[in-house]
A and B are shown apart, each in its own frame.
Chain A
């Protein structure tokens, strides 16, 4: 419980964060930026888990555990994605989305 701040305000902030992430995922042309946007989405959900746990079920810990679990998975995912992007850069000297379209055909 944080004095003076209700669950609604915090949920509003995380929603804004989530949609910033979605917007970035859709509009960015650079693979690194897209990855960052994905991290934003993940983080906003992590905050949601923690906040809901704290405000609605203060005597339980599942939400906190789950957020730690997500952070771990996100770290692994980022490492993997960065590895892919670096390999792609070695191949085509670019991390732009439009340059990866040759895979389509």
Chain B
């Protein structure tokens, strides 16, 4: 199967980015919107064509999906160790292509309405294209170094888009925070890549992931501090993934990243870029699973479970609707991580892997929908805060219904897409790790609760006195909502496990009815509680908050994790390390260099004095020289 055309999928958005970026001022905003949408539509069409070709025509050989690779060597170090550039097509990369192209296309269409009249309209679309290019490149990467390059590129586009409103100080600092935190995590990623390169001699995914390959079989050959070096490398790479995917404790940038425009939050910080960490772990899943009996994979599982729980708790108390959604994203990504973490490799045992990818797919759809619907609400009431909303269902019927669908999906209501994927995750957790299963069920309940708190708070409850009566958004914004709502409703019926599985063979999945019943019951309890608390105006919620007192305050302040970071960075690192080094640099290093410079100036001023420009002075030195020479010669001659 010739897949060279897939290189166009990332290259078209790159071309759009260059076009819009270079002719930023010359292109009319209306035209630039169409260019962006057209470019992305082409990429999306190609993605779907590739998916069709792969899954239904060429991909399966002897019942196993083959990984199809086309690459060129870019940098050659040794015979085995070289950095390639190319495309890798396998079930998860195709799945990600579909996710990225659908969500990105919907966000492009939506942005034409949402960003209308904004000064940086063209700039916004060029950045969106840059991001799409980077994300497609990340998905299609054939080796660790290529994925790292695109990994940083998505980080840059995320930085640019969070800081899109660059006149707002909060947006600028949020952009910096996101960039610095993820860069810090990427340091671990880079070190992990270098360790892998040094000890296994290859960066190539297919070589690394081969269960009979030397990279996996020889994991025990070198150890460091009681663990295999490969395990260390995997842990470090997971650190990079945790930074990108906002896992505890590297999640602090994600809530602040909500300063960006809402379509950006939907695209980057809900559906695509933040799942890059999950994708990375899935990409290296055989390594994670086989090396040291899955030690690194256990870390993934526990970090994921803990993050999902803590994020769900924090989400309950937040009042900024976008922040609620941000913590919800973190919680759901934790779900995907824990599903990967509890997964095994072969056949039906690889359920967790499949469930994680499945949830990634469905979550991308309904979370992008939630963000876009929230954007539609924000567009109508010009505020992010729950207190400024209420009773909007009469004004915005389409937003109301689509938001409800997404909320039902994320809460795992039967027959919505979230129900199926969440059920698979819970089954995988139940079969492998009871502790994680209990935590996940709890999270399922919390998710349903905070999501319906949001829903009732926005669309029901007491009606705020609006200055201008809110109205439904234009068709360019509601159309993507309807498309995504449709996918959120029916996406669960895709026989996902046939296509995506850890060993690429595929199996049939079945609903586990008892576990599904438990999850649905817990979800319904959450919804019912939200109904009681927030459907009608009442003071039950604040009473409850007061009953919890300190705990409520802690949660509201996000467990003071930001403050801990500030304390560590400002008080400890800054005062004890950075300040002395800065002093040394200023006084000793700069002092030496400046001293040399100053002395040169002083000496040159002295020398300048000798060049008086008076012929008489020169004549004096000339005569003096003649006299001295004369004396010397007389002395020599007389002796």
Interfacial residues, chain A to chain B (CB-CB below 8 A): 22, 25-28, 34, 97, 101, 103-104
Q: Find chain B residues with CB under 8 A from A26 CB.
A: 616, 619-620, 623
Q: Which of A27, A28, A103 contacts B613 (CB 8 A)?
A: A103
Complex formed: what's the CA distance from A25 to B623 in Å?
A: 11
Q: Find chain B residues with CB under 8 A from A103 CB.
A: 613
Complex formed: what's the CA distance from A25 to B621 in Å?
A: 13
Q: Find chain A residues with CB under 8 A from B614 CB.
A: 97, 101
Chain B interface secondary structure, helix, strand, loop or mixed? helix
- Nearest residue in A to B613 (C-beta to C-beta)? A104
Q: Least Cβ distance of B621 to chain A in Å?
A: 10
Q: Least Cβ distance of A34 to chain B in Å?
A: 7
Q: Least Cβ distance of B629 to chain A in Å?
A: 15
CB atoms of B613 and A101 under 8 A apart = yes
CB atoms of A97 and B616 under 8 A apart = yes
Interfacial residues, chain B to chain A (CB-CB below 8 A): 612-614, 616, 619-620, 623
Q: Find chain A residues with CB under 8 A from B612 CB.
A: 101, 104
- Nearest residue in A to B618 (C-beta to C-beta)? A26
- Nearest residue in A to B620 (C-beta to C-beta)? A26
Q: Find chain A residues with CB under 8 A from B613 CB.
A: 101, 103-104
Complex formed: what's the CA distance from A28 to B616 in Å?
A: 9
Complex formed: what's the CA distance from A34 to B614 in Å?
A: 12
Q: What are 10 residue pairs bridging A and B, where the CB atoms are less than 8 Å apart in the complex?
A: A22-B623, A25-B616, A25-B619, A26-B623, A27-B616, A97-B614, A101-B612, A101-B614, A103-B613, A104-B612
CB atoms of A34 and B623 under 8 A apart = no
Complex formed: what's the CA distance from A104 to B612 in Å?
A: 8
Q: Find chain A residues with CB under 8 A from B620 CB.
A: 26
Q: Least Cβ distance of B330 to chain A in Å?
A: 69
Complex formed: what's the CA distance from A96 to B612 in Å?
A: 15
Q: Least Cβ distance of B620 to chain A in Å?
A: 5
- Nearest residue in B to A23 (C-beta to C-beta)? B623
Q: Find chain B residues with CB under 8 A from A101 CB.
A: 612-614
Q: Find chain B residues with CB under 8 A from A97 CB.
A: 614, 616
Complex formed: what's the CA distance from A22 to B630 in Å?
A: 16
Q: Find chain A residues with CB under 8 A from B623 CB.
A: 22, 26
Complex formed: what's the CA distance from A26 to B617 in Å?
A: 7
- Nearest residue in B to A19 (C-beta to C-beta)? B623
Complex formed: what's the CA distance from A94 to B447 in Å?
A: 97
Complex formed: what's the CA distance from A25 to B620 in Å?
A: 9
- Nearest residue in A to B616 (C-beta to C-beta)? A26
- Nearest residue in A to B617 (C-beta to C-beta)? A26
Q: Least Cβ distance of A40 to chain B in Å?
A: 14
Q: Least Cβ distance of A11 to chain B in Å?
A: 16
Q: Find chain B residues with CB under 8 A from A28 CB.
A: 616
Q: Least Cβ distance of B347 to chain A in Å?
A: 90
Complex formed: what's the CA distance from A97 to B614 in Å?
A: 8
Complex formed: what's the CA distance from A104 to B613 in Å?
A: 6
The 9 closest A-B CB pairs, nearest first, are A104-B613, A26-B620, A26-B616, A26-B619, A22-B623, A25-B619, A101-B613, A97-B614, A97-B616
